[in-house]
């Protein structure tokens, strides 16, 4: 993918993410704020309804107080003013007072007169009979003193009504109380319509205690119980409702007042958010276009040109060419750095060519030297082995007394000659083996190996050396190892002899053992001793050539430092490895790990002394 595509994708992705973020932000914050503002206005409208209802109660009470505290009314309930009804209680009076029911009772609670009027239809209705339950309700018609006032809401004739009850007294507000003035104003559909028009909202009144199939109204009732006197509920995208509870004269829940409001604020909020999104989208498109144009002109085109010039230099291999430098900015600085780099690469190429020529000459010389070394070692080993074998042979004959009896001193000197010759021959063999391994001239033979027979031979051969130092020599082969395995028997024997010889050499007393076990598809051979051990720092380099634990000329044990190096190289050549674990003063464990491949040899080819192996 080109930089231009990546940049376009990145910038577009950033603005898309920004747009989505602003979309979510506007949805979660702005719209939520509008909704909260809308709910606040709805609550205020409900509070306006509460205030209007309270204002109606106060006005109705104030007007009726003048009727209850009036000498004409006082004289009428005493039976002294028979023309009172004709003079004062015409239909216009009910309309002016804005009440549906007016009843005057005397001191004994008897109904003296009543007027019933339908304000919505402007129609007088039959008067009360006197048997209505509310006329006998002592809580409404009984006043303990002249200042007593009863006003509030209650249920009358299946409607929620505003009720005012006042004691009838003289115009100077003195008693005794001669009766009760009772007035009722129904909160019916007509009154709800008038209040809705006055408040510019849709208002309805529902019986609080009536069963309702309206789930929304039931939920509002529950919310009023849980949270307070005013709650709001969103009906849909165009309508929000507010609810408040009316309590009756005695403090009990009476009715639920519902006000339905158009969601104008919410609609304005949606319009605002939509306009804002369009503006943001337009700005994003404009910014993306401008940024991409500037980016293409100032950066991408120049980077593309720079890349093409570098590709041309790379494809032709002409490091003496240079890229174009134009304006003074970061890209020009990059081009300048590329030119300097090309100059250094050109110089380095010439230097490298010269060094490669010198290296090729050195490699050729090294190969010639290695060949000469191998030829020299091969020749020297042959030339040295011949006299050494003669020295070893004649010194051995002299030690056996075939050439004549030797005194003690002569035997000591001849024995020293024989031992030194053998040591020198071992050194020559080690150097020759290492030279062959490094030259890659050691061939690993893949053949069947009877491991138990091999271990038996090692037990017999190396047991002699162990017996000379009074060491216990143990050999053990686990039963799960196949009778025959595949490998190079000669090289395996060479490795084990080297490890066992070292173990015997560096173990003054105790025991030496070799153990063969199986670990999955790996053959594990461990040579364990109770000797002097190897210091921790020496375990890191003990397998290196010509490295010994004690490299001084005064060391107590002879050696060239080649044995373990040969062991490691042979183990690696056979596809395995060798490691060591040792504690100074407590002995060592050398572990040889080789791939375990089962052979198909003849089990009866040679008997094995199982007692010696286990």
Convert the pLDDT of each residue in 151-195 to its tens digit: 988 888 878 889 999 999 999 988 899 999 999 998 877 777 777
Residue 254, domain extent: 24-262
What the block records as the tokens of 417 is 């000659």
Q: Does the pLDDT of residue 128 top 50, yes or no?
A: yes
Structural domain ending residue among the three candidates 214, 245, 262:
262
Residue 184: its pLDDT value, please? 93
Q: Does the pLDDT of residue 98 top 60, yes or no?
A: yes
Percent of residues, the chain, with pLDDT higher than 90: 26
User: For residues 118 and 123, what is the distance between their CA atoms, to the nearest angstrom?
Assistant: 5
Lookup result for tokens 């009720």: 163
Q: Give Cα 188 to chain centroid, integer Å.
A: 63
Handedness of CA 14, 15, 19, 25 (dihedral sign): positive
Residue 329: its pLDDT value, please? 75
Q: Does the pLDDT of residue 426 top 80, yes or no?
A: no
Segment 385-389 mean pLDDT: 72
Reply yes or no: is the peptide bond before residue 3 cis, omega within 30 of 0: no
Examine residue 557 and state whether it is found in any structural domain, yes or no.
yes
Taking only the tens place, the pLDDT of each residue in 304-337 is: 777 787 788 777 777 777 777 776 777 777 777 7
User: For residues 593 and 526, what is the distance between their CA atoms, to the nearest angstrom?
Assistant: 9
CATH, residue 557: 3.30.565.10
Examine residue 275 and state whether it is found in any structural domain, yes or no.
no
Segment 68-72 mean pLDDT: 92
Taking only the tens place, the pLDDT of each residue in 204-252 is: 777 777 766 666 666 666 666 656 666 677 767 777 777 777 788 887 8
Q: Does the pLDDT of residue 73 top 50, yes or no?
A: yes
Burial 549-584 (b: 16+ CB within 10 A, else e): beeeeeeeeebebbbbbbbbbbbeebebebebebee
Helix, strand or coil for residue 282?
A: helix
Q: Does the pLDDT of residue 606 top 80, yes or no?
A: no
Residue 178: its pLDDT value, please? 92
Mean of per-residue pLDDT scores for the chain: 81
Q: Does the pLDDT of residue 143 top 80, yes or no?
A: yes
Q: How confident is the model at residue 197 (pLDDT cuts 50, 70, 90)?
A: confident
Structural domain ending residue among the three candidates 241, 262, 283:
262
Examine residue 457 and state whether it is found in any structural domain, yes or no.
yes
Residue 436: its pLDDT value, please? 67
Choice between 517 and 609, residue whose per-residue pLDDT is larger: 517
Examine residue 413 and state whether it is found in any structural domain, yes or no.
no
Structural domain ending residue among the three candidates 262, 293, 314:
262
Bridging pattern class, strands 472-477 and 179-186: unpaired
User: For residues 165 and 322, what is the distance between their CA atoms, to the nearest angstrom?
Assistant: 109
Q: Which of 128-142, 372-386, 404-418, 426-440 has the largest mean confidence? A: 128-142
Burial of 351 (0-12, 13-18, 19+ CB in 10 A): exposed
Examine residue 287 and state whether it is found in any structural domain, yes or no.
no
Examine residue 183 and state whether it is found in any structural domain, yes or no.
yes
Residue 27: its pLDDT value, please? 67
Examine residue 527 and state whether it is found in any structural domain, yes or no.
yes
Percent of residues, the chain, with pLDDT higher than 70: 83
Q: For the whole prediction, is pTM greater than 0.85?
A: no
CATH, residue 32: 3.30.450.20
Residue 4: its pLDDT value, please? 65
Residue 349: its pLDDT value, please? 77
Examine residue 368 and state whether it is found in any structural domain, yes or no.
no
Hey, what's the torsion of the CAs at 299, 303, 304, 307, to 10 degrees?
180
- Provide the number of structural domains found in the chain: 2
Lookup result for tokens 């007072």: 97
Q: Does the pLDDT of residue 254 top 90, yes or no?
A: no
């Amino acid at each position: 993918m080109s930089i231009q595509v990546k940049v376009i994708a990145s910038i577009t992705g950033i603005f898309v993410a920004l747009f989505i973020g602003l979309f979510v932000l506007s949805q979660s914050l702005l719209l939520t704020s509008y909704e909260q503002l809308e709910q606040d206005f709805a609550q205020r409208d409900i509070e306006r309804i509460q205030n209007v209802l309270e204002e109606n109660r106060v006005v109705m009470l104030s007007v009726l107080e003048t009727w209850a505290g009036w000498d004409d009314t006082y004289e009428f309930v005493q039976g002294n003013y028979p023309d009172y009804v004709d003079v004062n209680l015409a239909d216009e009076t009910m309309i002016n007072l804005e009440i549906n029911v007016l009843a005057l009772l005397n001191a004994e609670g008897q109904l003296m007169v009543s007027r019933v009027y339908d304000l919505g239809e402007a129609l007088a209705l039959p008067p009360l009979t006197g048997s209505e339950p509310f006329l006998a309700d002592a809580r409404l018609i009984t006043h303990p003193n002249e200042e007593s006032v009863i006003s509030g809401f209650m249920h009358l004739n299946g409607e929620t009504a505003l009720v005012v009850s006042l004691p009838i007294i003289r115009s100077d507000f003195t008693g005794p109380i001669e009766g009760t003035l009772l007035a009722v104003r129904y909160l019916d559909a007509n009154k709800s319509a008038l209040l809705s028009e006055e408040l510019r909202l849709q208002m309805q009144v529902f019986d609080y205690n009536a069963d309702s199939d309206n789930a929304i109204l039931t939920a509002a009732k529950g919310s009023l119980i849980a949270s307070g006197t005013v709650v709001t509920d969103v009906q849909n995208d165009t309508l929000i409702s507010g609810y408040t509870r009316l309590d009756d004269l005695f403090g009990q829940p009476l009715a639920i007042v519902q006000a339905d409001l158009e969601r104008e604020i919410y609609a304005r909020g949606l319009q605002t958010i939509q306009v804002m999104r369009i503006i943001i989208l337009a700005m994003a498109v404009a910014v993306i276009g401008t940024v991409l144009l500037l980016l293409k002109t100032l950066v991408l085109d120049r980077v593309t040109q720079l890349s093409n010039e570098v590709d041309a230099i790379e494809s032709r291999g002409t490091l003496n060419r240079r890229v174009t430098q134009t304006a003074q900015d970061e890209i020009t600085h990059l081009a300048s750095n590329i030119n300097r780099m090309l100059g250094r690469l050109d110089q380095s190429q010439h230097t490298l060519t010269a060094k490669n020529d010198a290296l090729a000459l050195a490699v050729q010389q090294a190969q010639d030297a290695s060949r000469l070394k191998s030829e020299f070692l091969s020749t020297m080993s042959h030339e040295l082995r011949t006299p050494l074998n003669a020295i070893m042979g004649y010194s051995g004959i002299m030690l056996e007394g075939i050439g004549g009896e030797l005194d003690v001193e002569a035997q000591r000197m001849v024995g020293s000659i024989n031992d030194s010759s053998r040591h020198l021959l071992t050194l020559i063999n080690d150097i020759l083996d290492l030279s062959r391994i490094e030259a890659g001239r050691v061939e690993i033979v893949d053949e069947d190996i009877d491991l138990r027979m091999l271990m038996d031979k090692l037990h017999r051969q190396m047991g002699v050396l162990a017996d000379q130092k009074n060491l216990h020599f143990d050999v053990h082969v686990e039963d799960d190892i196949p009778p025959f395995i595949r490998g190079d028997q000669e090289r395996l024997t060479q490795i084990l002899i080297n490890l066992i010889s070292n173990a015997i050499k560096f173990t003054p007393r105790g025991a030496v053992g070799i153990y063969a076990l199986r670990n999955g598809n790996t053959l594990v051979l461990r040579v364990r001793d109770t000797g002097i051990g190897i210091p921790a720092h020496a375990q890191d380099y003990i397998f290196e050539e010509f490295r010994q634990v004690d490299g001084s000329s005064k060391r107590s044990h002879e050696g060239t430092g080649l044995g373990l190096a040969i062991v490691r190289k042979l183990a690696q050549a056979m596809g395995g490895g060798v490691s060591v674990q040792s504690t100074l003063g407590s002995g060592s464990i050398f572990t040889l790990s080789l791939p375990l491949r089962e052979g198909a040899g003849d089990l009866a080819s040679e008997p094995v002394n199982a007692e010696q192996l286990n």
